[in-house]
Structure 1
Amino acid sequence: MAGGWSRDGAVQDQIDASVEEEIERARSQLGHGESAKECDECGAPIPEARRKAIPGVRLCIECQQAREQSQTRDGGINRRGSKDSQLR
């Protein structure tokens, strides 16, 4: 049930759009092609099991974890904040 001037199902459409955007973002970060034998960041060898499990891997586990943590701290889209700011 939507309220105000929004049509029925508008909230679900927004949720679906958020999910689709996140799926596309995750897919864009997947590796493609040949995996590196050494980490692009620190030069440490990348184990064969990791290279086979993740096609196109370029980073060792430690560097990948550090990159993911920095991306998490940078934040993402706060749709509620965006909506609230539009209402002011």
Structure 2
Amino acid sequence: MGDWMDRAQQREALELDRALSARLAAIRPAVPSHTHCICCDDEIPTERQALGGVTRCVPCQTKHEREYRQ
């Protein structure tokens, strides 16, 4: 029989698995991704395009999100 810490860690792992499963099951945008970034016109990798609805490359999206938070 495990102690309370073991049970807490198991519960945390279970909740993390549930949260990740729910996020992965979320509906993806139905619109296709752009092939090139709308900000810098660099090509967006096909792996990123597969997500659907992608309009920016990773560096430009990161910059956009940082500016949006401020």
| TM-score, normalisation: structure 2 | 0.56
Structure with the greater relative contact order (CA < 8 A, sep ≥ 6): 1 or 2? 2
Where does residue 48 of structure 2 map in the other structure? Answer: 50
Query: How many residue pairs are counted as aligned between the two chains?
Result: 43
- What is the TM-score with the length of structure 1 in the denominator? 0.45
What RMSD in Å do the two structures reach over aligned CA positions?
1.5
Letter of the 2:67 counterpart: S
Percent of pairs with identical residues: 28
- In structure 1, runs of 5+ residues without a counterpart are 1-29, 74-88
- The gaps in structure 2 that reach 5 residues or longer are 1-27
How many angstroms apart in 2 are the aligned matches of 1:32 and 1:39? 18
Runs of 4+ in 1 over 6 A off after TM superposition: none
Q: Supply the distance in 2 between the matched residues of 1:40 and 1:31 (Cα, whole angstroms).
A: 17
Structure 2 CA distance, aligned partners of 1:32 and 1:45? 21
Bigger Rg, structure 1 or 2 = 1
